[in-house]
Structure 1
C-alpha cells in the first residue's frame, strides 16, 4: 500500500453521516475538532473498524458531544463522565467518544495522570504510538486533512511501532503501553522499533503498578491473534512474562543428566498455542493450550532407569490453574472449570491409541470429557510438535482412530454426560431410606458398572443392579402397597 505524507486528503475516510454533524457542532461551538487514533490508523491500513470512533476537540469534549447528540433524534443515551472530561453515545452501531485536548503529567508510582487542558499538539504527544497519533481535521477550513506531526504514516508504511516522545517517557509514564506495543505488534504483524523495545525491557518491572484487569485485557487480545506466539515471545523477550505468568517461564530451558535431555517446554507450549489458534476462536481453549504443561516444572524428575519424568503433571497443572486464575483475576466459574478439565485430561487420549484399548477406557474418557471431548482432541492434535513428518502423520492418524472408536462407543452406549438411570430419590423410595451414604454408594456403583460395560445404560438394567448392590449393603426393598 502506498501512503502519502502530510496534508493528504482523507475525505473518503469521512463518508459516514456522523462526520458532517460533528463538523457542524464544532463550528457552532468554535472548537477545533479532529477524529483521532484507531479509526484513522485502521482506515489507512484498510482494516474495517465500525465499532468505535474517537474525537478530540480543543475545548469541552462534553459540550461537543451534547451539541452533536442533540442533532440526532434516534441516538442512544448520552453518557457524560465529568471527572474525565469525556462523553459518549452510540449511533448507527458505532460508539462515539468525545474528549477535550489535553496534556498529561505523571507521578512515578501511578499511571493515573495529572491532566490539563491542551492543544491538539499536546494531545498527540500524549498518545502511545505514532500510528495512533494520526488525526483528521473536521474543521471547515481544512476538512479531511491529515495531521501527522510524528511521521506515523511512515511508520505505517514500514510496519513499525514507535512512540511519539522518548520511549522511556512514554512507557514509564503509563506502563500499560508496553503491553499495548506488544499487542499491536502481534495484531498488525509490525516490529517494535529497537530503542522502544529496549525501553520496554528497561521499564518492565513498572508493569506491576498497572491493575491486573488492564494487563489481562491486553493479554487476552494477544491470545486471540492469529499467531499468539509472536506476542507471547515478545512478552518474554521484553521481561514482562515473568511478572504475568511465572508458571510459564518456569518451563524454559533444557537440562541434561547423563546425556539425557528433555525438550524446552516453554517453546513447545508456544508451538501448541499456535497450532490450536487456526482451529478455535474459544479463548479458553487457547488458555488450556497455554497451560497444558505448566505442571511439568514442579513435577520434573530424573530417573536413572527411564530418564526425565513428569509424573502427574496434568493433574498438578489443573490444580495450579486455580491459583493462577485467581491471581490474574480471570473468571473462577465455568472458564476455570473448563480449562482445568482440558488440562487434566490432556494426555489421556494418547494412552487410548493402543489397538487393544478397552471400551471401558473409551467410555470413561468420553464421560469425563463430556461435551468438551472434541475440544480435548483439538488440543491433543495441536500438541503434536515433532518435526519428523512421518511421526507427525502417524500421531495424527492415531488420533483419528481414537475419534472413530469413541464415536462407536458413544452411538452404542450413550455415556457422554450421562446421569445414572436410577436417581437418588428412587433408591430412597425402593429401600425406604432417609438421606445417607448408602445412596451415594449405590449411585456410584451403578455409574461404574455402566462405564465398565457390566450393566447396560438403561433403567431396567440399572434397577436390577441397584437391587444387587442393596443386597450387598444389607438393604431390603420395601414392598409396594397394592
Structure 2
C-alpha cells in the first residue's frame, strides 16, 4: 500500500504532465520540507496566472474535489482522500508582476520561499529553493521574522499568526519582529472574530499553550484578543494568593499538560479513553483539549465582580455561575459554535464540584452520579480543569487541594466509564414506558427517569422488569 506522501508525489507528477507553465511550491510547503516533514498533506502552489483553470483540471484528473477558498482573489483548493488520509492542494496566482514581488508580500521569511515544482519532482532535491529573504537561514535558526515591518500592517492578523507559528513550530519570534508587533498590538482587533478565533485556537491546541499565551501578553495581544481577562490583571485577592488571577489562570492552562502526563498514574484504566476524548473535534480547528484550555483561561473571570471580604474572609459567591455566563459571551464574540460554547460554559459552571466531593470519607455515590449527570460528555474536561486549578493555586492551598482532589477524581472517572456511560447508552426505561404505566407527562418525568438511571448505575435496579416495577411507587 502506498503512503499518502507517495500518492501526493504521484499527484504532483500528474499535475506537471498537463501543464507547461511554471508552477512553484511555496510558503509552508517549502518550510516543512526544510524541516524534514514527510507528510506532504498541505501543498501550496503558485503560478503566474491561470491557476483556477489548472486546479479544476487537476481535480478532475485525480478524482479530487474543487472549491474556492477566496473567490475574490481566485484562490482555490483541491482536496483528495487516499491511504486513509486527505491531502489539500491550494492554487493561487502571483500577486504582482513576478515571483519575487509575490514573495515580498508574504508574512514571514520562513513562508517566503519558493521551489520550482518540476525541478523538485524530477530531482527530489531542495537545492533550487528561491529564497530572497533568507528564510532558509531563519528555519535553521528557528526564528519567526517578518519579511518587512509593513507586512504586519497589510494584514494585522499576522501579529497573532507570529505567535501561532512560534507555537506550532517551536520557533522564537525574532527580536525586531517582536518589537514591531508591540508597536502595532492595538491593530489586532481589526480582523474578523472568525479569523482571530482560528489563530487563537490553534495556539490553544499546542502543548505548552501557557507559554504562548504569556508571549501574547508580553506582545500586548492577549487583552485585546480576550478583553474578558482585563479585570484579572493585577487582581490579587486573599492572603494565600501568590499571583494575580490572570497569572493563576495562565498557570491553570499550563497545568493541563501536567494532567495529560499524569493521567496514567491517576487513572490507569481510563487514561487512554480520556486522551482520545480530548482529541475529538468540537468544530474545525477546535479539539476538545483546546476548548478545555480556553475554559481554564476563563474559569475565574467573574472573581473580581463577585469578590467580598468580611473579617478577613474572602468570598467569591456565585463566581462559577456568573463566570459561565461571561464565558458564553466570549464564545459568541469569537463566533464559536454552540457545541464549544456549551462545553466551555458547563465546565466553568461546575468547576468547583470536584472540590465539593473531597470531604473526608470520599464522595457519596449519589453525589458522583449527579456530577456525571450534570456534565455528561464534558465530565473529563471538568475533572481536568478542577485538578489543574488546584495545582495552579498558591503553594499552601495547592498542597491541601492537590491531596484532596486526586482520589475523588479517580473515583469519579471509574464510576463514569464503568457505570454512568452504560446507563446513558442503554437506559432501562423511557418516557414512553412512564406513559404506558399511566403517569402524566410533565417535569416530573425527568426526575423519575433520573432516579431510575441513578439506581441502575449503582446496581440497585439491574433489569427492565425491575425498573418497570419500580414505577408503581409513582402512581
Quick one: distance in 1 between partners of 2:217 and 2:152?
A: 17
Say whether 1:162 aligns with 2:145: yes
Say whether 1:126 aligns with 2:116: no
Question: Could you say which residue in structure 1 is the equivalent of 2:297?
Answer: 290
Aligned-pair RMSD on alpha carbons? Answer: 3.9
TM-superposed deviation, 1:317: 1.2
TM-superposed deviation, 1:219: 0.8
1:153 to 118, 121, 136: 136
Quick one: distance in 2 between partners of 1:125 and 1:411?
A: 54
Q: Is the 8 A contact 2:8 2:40 kept in 1?
A: no
Question: Could you say which residue in structure 2 is the equivalent of 1:55?
Answer: 45
Say whether 1:444 aligns with 2:447: yes
Question: Could you say which residue in structure 2 is the equivalent of 1:202?
Answer: 183
Secondary structure of 2:92's partner? Answer: strand
Quick one: distance in 1 between partners of 2:157 and 2:398?
A: 40
TM-superposed deviation, 1:235: 2.0
Compute the TM-score of the two structures, normalised by the length of structure 2: 0.77
Q: Is the 8 A contact 1:227 1:277 kept in 2?
A: yes
Change (3 A) 1:59 1:366: closer
Change (3 A) 1:432 1:373: closer
Question: Could you say which residue in structure 1 is the equivalent of 2:387?
Answer: 381
Compute the TM-score of the two structures, normalised by the length of structure 1: 0.76
Change (3 A) 1:153 1:83: same
TM-superposed deviation, 1:86: 3.6
TM-superposed deviation, 1:174: 0.6
Question: Could you say which residue in structure 2 is the equivalent of 1:316?
Answer: 322
* Deviates most, 375-384 or 37-46: 375-384
Question: Could you say which residue in structure 2 is the equivalent of 1:33?
Answer: 23
1:90 to 76, 79, 86: 79
Greater per-residue helix proportion:
2
TM-superposed deviation, 1:399: 3.0
Question: Could you say which residue in structure 2 is the equivalent of 1:44?
Answer: 34
Q: Larger C-alpha radius of gyration, 1 or 2? A: 1
Number of aligned residue pairs: give it.
431
Question: Could you say which residue in structure 1 is the equivalent of 2:253?
Answer: 273
Q: Is the 8 A contact 1:135 1:148 kept in 2?
A: yes
Secondary structure of 1:95's partner? Answer: strand
Long gaps (5+) in structure 2: 261-277, 280-287
Secondary structure of 1:309's partner? Answer: strand
2:366 to 360, 364, 368: 360
Question: Could you say which residue in structure 2 is the equivalent of 1:474?
Answer: none
TM-superposed deviation, 1:224: 0.4
Secondary structure of 1:150's partner? Answer: coil
Quick one: distance in 2 between partners of 1:347 and 1:237?
A: 30
Quick one: distance in 1 between partners of 2:226 and 2:215?
A: 13
Q: Is the 8 A contact 1:161 1:191 kept in 2?
A: yes
1:309-336 per-residue CA deviation (whole Å, 9 max, x = no partner) reads 222211111122221111111012x332
Question: Could you say which residue in structure 2 is the equivalent of 1:178?
Answer: 159
Say whether 1:231 aligns with 2:237: no
TM-superposed deviation, 1:134: 1.0
* Deviates most, 50-59 or 356-365: 356-365
Quick one: distance in 1 between partners of 2:9 and 2:432?
A: 63
Say whether 1:75 aligns with 2:75: no
Change (3 A) 1:441 1:159: same
1:336 to 336, 341, 344: 341
Question: Could you say which residue in structure 2 is the equivalent of 1:137?
Answer: 116
* Deviates most, 280-289 or 16-25: 16-25
Say whether 1:213 aligns with 2:219: no
Q: Is the 8 A contact 2:248 2:393 kept in 1?
A: no
Secondary structure of 2:9's partner? Answer: coil
Long gaps (5+) in structure 1: 1-11, 104-117, 471-482
Q: Is the 8 A contact 1:371 1:417 kept in 2?
A: no
Question: Could you say which residue in structure 2 is the equivalent of 1:475?
Answer: none
Question: Could you say which residue in structure 2 is the equivalent of 1:101?
Answer: 94
Change (3 A) 1:231 1:54: same
Quick one: distance in 2 between partners of 1:89 and 1:408?
A: 45
Q: Is the 8 A contact 1:277 1:286 kept in 2?
A: no
